[in-house]
Each structure stands twice: as structure tokens, then as C-alpha cells.
């Protein structure tokens, strides 16, 4: 026999297992969802690789998941014909926490400890493979990767800090490919080995798995059997005067066991949008992206003609946990399929500009080759068209949130993703028209609630030509700037650009609805109240003071001028028309430090 190797779990795994076994009791049934989702991932991986290496499918062509229950012994066996695991993969995958889902869970657990509520966290997040220990005290994994000619067995027990791996040497137990997970249920959980219960759970949890799931079910069919006539009957009939001897048939139910297809395998995006409910879209989102909050919006569409593809896009309710990098996002937010075959979730950057990297969704194309690579995507005309459509749909979806009756929805969106859209103003000239109406700013007339540019324009004075703004580091410092005095007096609204990126975004836009953005801190501000006569008078009276001041200040200022822009302050420092604003200078300084 092959030697048995004993391994210790990584410390985090031990801690997690301990939690699972000893404190997380609610909603144990999610173990099945987690194991099915792993099986489905393994099948996805195999299907993808087999596009270029068809020999991987040898031995077992069917890609499916089978769940068998042994009620008597309290055992559930879940088998998939997926990619399997090599020895090294077994150690890496089932002995360490190398995947995001579980790490996310541990973080949420920590956060919820701080806030004092950890109800149903497993239900929300899932803890992956280890959730098997919610119901089992012993788990045996048998696995065969097509990359290796050996088959391995992994065995772990609840309340143990170690597991074992051995090579399978009994030819009777050889499987062609894939993974089989045997759960020896805890004494109190043996009820899960009931075939009907498993069937119900599969239907409930695996609505969106695109591989067939079979469960082992007892069935029966009725057949008619011929029986000898009951002599008493015969006599009765004889009394009626019927003397003919008759054969009789009886219906009996024949019982047998067989595999039964238990799920619906049509992917949700292939269905008619009219027939899919919001709940189903949200469920799909949560299951596919491992999210527990409902999305803010979704959009399901098909495009035909030049390029054919189907897609469901979502706007998440929050930014991902942890520090997010909007400059180099590695999000895995878009799952690309070609003719229903999952290809990769690594191509977001090719399908969406980085400022829209927060959009999640699935895209299924009929026009791309199955062995599509990043290089192909980057050069493909089809992808360019897809990208354009996807971006447009994403904007429609965001616009939809902004028009929602519930103003809070968009406030939430803006808080999470406003920065992304501002980045878009800088990076995506082509979509300025779509981006600008989505922007929000505080203003001199709305310091609490942000307004849109449309609201600003609506509120403009009849003879007002420009959109005024002042950039500052906070609403408080913006509203206290002396530049505002005269605009306040004339009741002109001024946008407060208080996020460092605001000013760059606005200067990139240049104008909105043919109205230019004008920085009120720059020289030559014309708010339409020029009085030549008076200016001349002032110049005569104060001209020599200006000359004197310029002489005293020398190179520290470009010039000293008389202006009518102040009401109560005696003087103010302004930026040159073509120079950086004070705010920009502050930003540049901050960057060089």
C-alpha cells in the first residue's frame, strides 16, 4: 500500500474549521451549495482547457455532477467529472486559504465581531470547501487530475488540526477523472442523507449551475401483471351465468433506483428577459459573484446583427472590501463565455474601460473563437463593437439609478463610484456626453445635498452664460472664500469642487450644454456686470497704489490690479487666466512631496 502522508493545516484553516464546527450553526445546509459550486468550477475549468486539449475529455466525456445518498449509513457522496486535483493542488487547495471567498468571510467575521452581530455569515459568504464540516465529522476526497496519472485520497476530520493524503492503489476504486467527496454525516445531521431532502436543496441552491446535476432517487413504475383468478370471484361470476374462465390483471408498483436530473441547466442570460424576475437576477448575482448585498441595478440584453452577444450587467451596492485600486483594477468582475462555455474572468480590461471596472456581469458571445486569448481580444473588431455596446448599456443602467424615485440610491452609487466617473471624464472623451449628466457636486446654494449639472443649469439666471466653480479642499473653505462675495450678492450659484479629482474632471469636460465651466478664482472673471465708466474712475483713483504694491511685492505676484469682484474684502490673491488654480497648485505640490 502507498504510504499515508500527514499534513498540518495552515493556521487560518485550523481557526476556520474550529469556528465552523463549534460556533457557526445557522444555516448548515449551505454546505451543499458550496460543494456544488466547487464541482461546477472544476467542470468549467475542464471544459475550458479541453477546447485546446480535447484529449482531456478521454475516459469520461460527460460533464456532470452526481449526488448519491446512503441513508442507512448517513453518507452523502458528491461526484464531479471536472478537472480534479494533483497532489500539489490538494495540499494547496484543501490545506490553506488561498482563495478570496473565504478570506472575505474571515474579514467579515472580524468586522461583525466588532459590531456584535455574526448571524448567518456563512449563508451570506460561504466558507467554501470547509463548510462540509458543518454537517460531516469526516470528509474523504478522492480526486484524479488529467494532468497526473495518479489518483489521491484526502481525508480530514472535524476537530483535528491535521489531514492525510495517500495515493489510491486499489484499481477497483479508480475513477477516470474528477473529484468525489464523501461526507460521513455527524450523528445529528444524518437527515441530510435523505434523497428527497437533497433533491430539494439542489433545486433550491443550484438554480444557476450550468452543468446537469443528477441525484440518486428511488423511482417506481406501475405495471400490469396477470394473476390467477380468485376462486371466490369466479364463483360469483359463475352465479351470474358467465361460465367462461377469465384471466385477470392487477396493477403493481415496481420500485427501483436511478439517477434523476434535478436542476434546470439553461443559463439565466439565455432566457427571455421578460420572463426573469428581479429576484432571479439578484440571486444569480449573489451566487455568481459571491456577494451578499443585492445589486443597485441590473441590465439584461441581447444584441444582434453585426455582432451577437448576450449579457447581464450589474452595479454593485458597495465597493469591494479592502483597498481598491481604480488605476490598476484586477477585479474578475466580468465573466466571459463563448457559446455558453466559460472562458475567463480575467478579461475585464478588454471589455470595459478601467473607470467602469466596478461593473459586474456575464457576457456570452457567439462570434468569438473558443480558444480566445487576451491577444485575440485586443485585436478583435468584434470586441471593439462589444465594448462599445457594453459601455453604453452600463451608462444606461447608471442613468437609470440616477432617475430612480429614491434619491438615496444614487447617493449611494455616487459615494461608492463617483470617483470612477470623474476618472472617466479624464480618460474617455468620447463619452463626455454620457458622463456629465451623472456627475454630482456641492454648491453655494446646496451645501448639504449634491446637485447635478442639469439642476445647476436649470437654476441659472436668464443672462448667465457660464457654469461657475471654485475648487477648495472642503465645503467650508469653499464657502468662505472671498471670490464668492460678488456671486453671492448676485445670487449666482457656484459649484464647490472639493474632491481633488473634481477640478481635473471639470476642466476636461470644458463645457456642459454649451455652457463653459469657469473658475471664479481666476483673473478676468466676467459675471456680466461690467461698468466701464466706474472702472475708469477707480483706476484713476487707485492706480498709483497698485503700482506701489507691485513694486513692493516684485516677482511674488504677476500683477496688481483693480477689480470689482470683491464686496467686503479689501484684496484677494487670484490665479492667472492661463495658470494653475490655487487648488491645482496645492495638488501638484502634494504629488511631488
Residue nearest to ligand ADP (CB): 128
How deeply is 460 buried, as exposed, middle or buried, from its count of CB atoms within 10 A (0-12, 13-18, 19+)? middle
HEC assignment per residue over 323-375? CCCCCCCCCCCEEEEECCEEEECCCHHHHCCHHHCCCEEEEEECCCCCCCCHH
Binds 444, which of ligand ADP, Mg ion, none (CB < 5 to 8 A, cut-off by type)? none
Tell me how many residues contact Mg ion (CB under 5 A). Answer: 2
Nearer to ligand ADP, 41 or 294 (CB): 41
| Min dist. Cβ of residue 35 to Mg ion (A) | 8
Grid cell, residue 79, equals: 461526484
- Which element (helix H / strand E) includes 250? strand 248-261
Any contact of residue 288 with ligand ADP (CB under 6 A)? no
Q: Which of 82, 84, 95, 128 binds Mg ion (CB under 5 A)?
A: 128
Q: For ligand ADP, what does the binding mask look like between residues 21 and 60, x meaning CB under 6 A? A: -------------x---xx-xx------------------
Nearer to ligand ADP, 12 or 447 (CB): 12
Any contact of residue 80 with ligand ADP (CB under 6 A)? yes
Any contact of residue 291 with ligand ADP (CB under 6 A)? no
Residues 387, 306: Cα–Cα separation, whole Å? 13
Q: Which of 69, 86, 102, 357 binds ligand ADP (CB under 6 A)?
A: 102
Nearer to ligand ADP, 184 or 190 (CB): 184
Nearer to Mg ion, 38 or 444 (CB): 38
| Min dist. Cβ of residue 25 to ligand ADP (A) | 20
**Residue keyed to cell 478570506:** 103
For the stretch 201-206, contacts whose Cβ atoms lie closer than 8 Å and that sit 24 or more positions apart, written own/partner, are 201/29, 201/32, 201/33, 202/32, 202/36, 202/67, 202/262, 202/263, 203/262, 203/263, 205/29, 205/30, 205/32, 205/33, 205/36, 206/33, 206/36, 206/262, 206/263
Strands (DSSP E) found in 378-529:
441-443, 446-451, 467-471, 494-497, 511-512, 515-519
How deeply is 144 buried, as exposed, middle or buried, from its count of CB atoms within 10 A (0-12, 13-18, 19+)? buried
| Min dist. Cβ of residue 100 to Mg ion (A) | 10
Nearer to ligand ADP, 50 or 179 (CB): 179
Q: For Mg ion, what does the binding mask look like between residues 18 and 47, x meaning CB under 5 A? A: --------------------x---------
Which range of residues in 66-74, 79-87, 515-523, 548-556 is near ligand ADP by CB under 6 A? Answer: 79-87
- Annotated binding-site residue numbers for ATP: 34, 38, 80, 85, 100-101, 124-129, 179, 374
How deeply is 403 buried, as exposed, middle or buried, from its count of CB atoms within 10 A (0-12, 13-18, 19+)? exposed
Nearer to ligand ADP, 134 or 425 (CB): 134
Binds 82, which of ligand ADP, Mg ion, none (CB < 5 to 8 A, cut-off by type)? ligand ADP
Any contact of residue 290 with Mg ion (CB under 5 A)? no
Nearer to ligand ADP, 99 or 465 (CB): 99
Strand arrangement of the beta sheet that strand 297-303 belongs to: 297-303, 309-315, 360-365, 334-338, 341-344
Look at strands 136-144 and 178-185 and give their pairing.
antiparallel
To the nearest 10°, the Cα dihedral for 432, 438, 440, 443? 70
Any contact of residue 79 with ligand ADP (CB under 6 A)? no
Residues 384, 211: Cα–Cα separation, whole Å? 31
Residues 115, 110: Cα–Cα separation, whole Å? 9
Residues 36, 18: Cα–Cα separation, whole Å? 23
Binds 364, which of ligand ADP, Mg ion, none (CB < 5 to 8 A, cut-off by type)? none
Which range of residues in 77-85, 254-262, 419-427, 540-548 is near ligand ADP by CB under 6 A? Answer: 77-85
Give the rounded distance of the alpha carbon of 232 from its chain centre.
74
Give the rounded distance of the alpha carbon of 448 from its chain centre.
31
Residues 247, 273: Cα–Cα separation, whole Å? 58
Nearer to Mg ion, 38 or 69 (CB): 38
What does the DSSP assignment read for 396-438? Answer: HHHHHHHT-S-HHHHHHHHHHHHHHHHHHHHH-GGGHHHHGGG
CB-CB neighbours of 433 under 10 Å: 11
Which range of residues in 94-102, 182-190, 270-278, 392-400 is near ligand ADP by CB under 6 A? Answer: 94-102
- The helix-helix angle for 381-402 and 407-427 (nearest 10°) equals 140
To the nearest 10°, the Cα dihedral for 472, 476, 481, 486? 120
Pair 442, 495: CB distance under 8 Å: yes
- Annotated binding-site residue numbers: 34, 38, 80, 85, 100-101, 124-129, 179, 374
Residues 401, 149: Cα–Cα separation, whole Å? 54
Q: Which of residues 126-145 bind ligand ADP (CB under 6 A)?
A: 128-129
Q: Which of 50, 86, 124, 179 binds ligand ADP (CB under 6 A)?
A: 179
Binds 39, which of ligand ADP, Mg ion, none (CB < 5 to 8 A, cut-off by type)? ligand ADP
Which range of residues in 80-88, 168-176, 202-210, 293-301 is near ligand ADP by CB under 6 A? Answer: 80-88
Any contact of residue 74 with Mg ion (CB under 5 A)? no
Residues 202, 76: Cα–Cα separation, whole Å? 13
Any contact of residue 444 with ligand ADP (CB under 6 A)? no
Q: Which of 101, 212, 273, 400 binds ligand ADP (CB under 6 A)?
A: 101
Grid cell, residue 307, equals: 455582432
Any contact of residue 81 with ligand ADP (CB under 6 A)? no
**Residue keyed to cell 497698485:** 546
Q: Which of 13, 75, 76, 85 binds ligand ADP (CB under 6 A)?
A: 85
Nearer to Mg ion, 141 or 587 (CB): 141
Look at strands 65-70 and 136-144 and give their pairing.
unpaired
Q: Which of 20, 21, 76, 83 binds ligand ADP (CB under 6 A)?
A: 83
Tell me how many residues contact ligand ADP (CB under 6 A). Answer: 18
| Min dist. Cβ of residue 152 to ligand ADP (A) | 12
Which range of residues in 99-107, 272-280, 437-445, 515-523 is near ligand ADP by CB under 6 A? Answer: 99-107
Nearer to ligand ADP, 128 or 329 (CB): 128
Nearer to ligand ADP, 97 or 487 (CB): 97
Q: Which residues bind Mg ion (CB under 5 A)?
A: 38, 128
Q: Which residues bind ligand ADP (CB under 6 A)?
A: 34, 38-39, 41-42, 80, 82-85, 93-94, 99, 101-102, 128-129, 179
Amino acid at each position: 500500500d502507498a504510504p499515508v502522508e500527514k499534513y498540518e493545516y495552515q493556521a487560518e484553516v485550523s481557526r476556520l474549521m474550529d469556528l465552523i464546527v463549534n460556533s457557526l450553526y445557522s444555516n448548515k445546509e449551505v454546505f451543499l451549495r458550496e460543494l456544488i459550486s466547487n464541482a461546477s468550477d472544476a467542470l468549467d475549468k475542464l471544459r475550458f482547457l479541453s477546447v485546446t486539449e480535447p484529449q482531456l475529455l478521454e475516459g469520461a466525456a460527460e460533464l456532470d455532477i452526481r449526488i448519491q445518498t446512503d441513508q442507512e449509513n448517513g453518507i452523502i457522496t458528491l461526484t464531479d467529472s471536472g478537472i480534479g486535483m494533483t497532489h500539489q493542488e490538494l495540499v494547496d487547495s484543501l490545506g490553506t486559504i488561498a482563495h478570496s471567498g473565504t478570506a472575505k468571510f474571515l474579514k467579515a467575521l472580524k468586522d461583525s465581531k466588532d459590531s456584535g452581530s455574526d448571524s448567518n455569515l456563512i449563508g451570506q459568504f460561504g466558507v467554501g470547501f470547509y463548510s462540509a464540516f458543518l454537517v460531516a465529522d469526516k470528509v474523504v476526497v478522492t480526486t484524479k487530475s488529467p494532468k497526473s496519472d495518479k489518483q489521491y485520497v484526502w481525508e480530514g476530520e472535524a476537530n483535528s488540526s491535521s489531514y492525510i493524503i495517500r495515493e489510491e492503489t486499489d484499481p477497483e476504486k479508480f475513477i477516470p477523472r474528477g473529484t468525489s467527496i464523501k461526507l460521513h454525516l455527524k450523528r445529528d445531521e444524518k437527515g441530510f442523507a435523505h434523497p428527497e431532502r437533497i433533491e430539494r436543496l439542489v433545486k433550491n441552491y443550484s438554480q444557476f449551475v450550468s452543468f446537469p446535476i443528477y441525484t440518486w432517487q428511488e423511482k417506481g413504475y406501475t405495471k400490469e401483471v396477470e394473476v390467477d383468478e380468485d376462486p371466490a370471484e369466479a364463483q360469483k361470476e359463475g352465479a351470474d351465468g358467465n361460465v367462461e374462465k377469465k384471466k385477470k390483471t392487477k396493477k403493481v408498483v415496481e420500485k427501483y433506483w436511478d439517477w434523476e436530473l434535478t436542476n434546470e441547466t439553461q443559463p439565466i442570460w439565455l432566457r427571455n428577459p421578460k420572463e426573469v424576475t428581479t429576484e432571479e437576477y439578484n440571486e444569480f448575482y449573489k451566487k455568481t459573484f459571491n456577494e451578499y448585498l443585492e445589486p443597485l441595478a441590473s441590465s439584461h440584453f441581447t444584441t444582434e446583427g453585426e455582432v451577437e452577444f448576450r449579457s447581464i450587467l450589474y452595479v454593485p451596492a458597495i465597493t469591494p472590501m479592502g483597498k481598491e485600486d481604480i488605476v490598476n483594477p484586477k477585479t474578475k468582475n466580468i465573466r466571459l463565455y463563448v457559446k455558453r462555455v466559460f472562458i475567463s474572468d480575467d478579461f475585464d480590461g478588454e471589455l470595459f474601460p478601467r473607470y467602469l471596472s466596478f461593473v459586474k456581469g456575464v457576457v456570452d458571445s457567439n462570434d468569438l473563437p473558443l480558444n480566445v486569448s487576451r491577444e485575440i481580444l485586443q485585436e478583435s473588431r468584434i470586441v471593439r463593437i462589444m465594448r462599445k455596446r457594453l459601455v453604453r448599456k452600463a451608462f444606461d443602467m447608471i442613468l437609470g439609478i440616477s432617475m430612480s424615485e429614491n434619491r438615496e440610491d444614487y447617493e449611494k452609487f455616487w459615494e461608492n463610484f463617483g470617483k470612477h466617473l470623474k476618472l472617466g471624464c479624464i480618460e474617455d472623451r468620447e463619452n463626455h456626453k454620457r458622463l456629465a449628466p451623472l456627475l454630482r457636486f456641492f454648491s453655494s446654494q446646496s451645501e448639504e445635498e449634491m446637485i447635478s449639472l442639469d439642476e445647476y443649469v436649470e437654476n441659472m439666471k436668464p443672462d448667465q452664460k457660464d457654469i461657475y466653480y471654485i475648487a477648495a479642499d472642503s465645503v467650508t473653505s469653499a464657502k468662505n472664500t472671498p471670490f464668492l462675495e460678488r456671486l453671492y450678492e448676485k445670487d449666482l450659484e457656484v459649484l464647490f469642487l472639493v474632491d481633488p479629482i473634481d477640478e481635473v474632471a471639470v476642466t476636461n469636460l470644458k463645457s456642459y450644454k454649451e455652457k463653459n465651466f469657469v473658475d471664479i478664482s481666476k483673473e478676468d472673471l466676467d459675471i456680466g456686470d461690467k461698468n466701464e465708466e466706474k472702472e475708469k474712475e477707480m483706476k484713476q483713483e487707485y492706480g498709483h497704489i497698485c503700482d506701489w504694491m507691485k513694486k513692493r511685492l516684485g516677482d511674488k505676484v504677476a500683477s496688481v490690479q483693480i477689480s470689482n469682484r470683491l464686496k467686503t474684502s479689501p484684496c484677494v490673491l487670484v490665479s492667472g487666466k492661463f495658470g494653475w488654480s490655487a487648488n491645482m497648485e496645492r495638488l501638484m505640490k502634494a504629488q511631488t512631496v
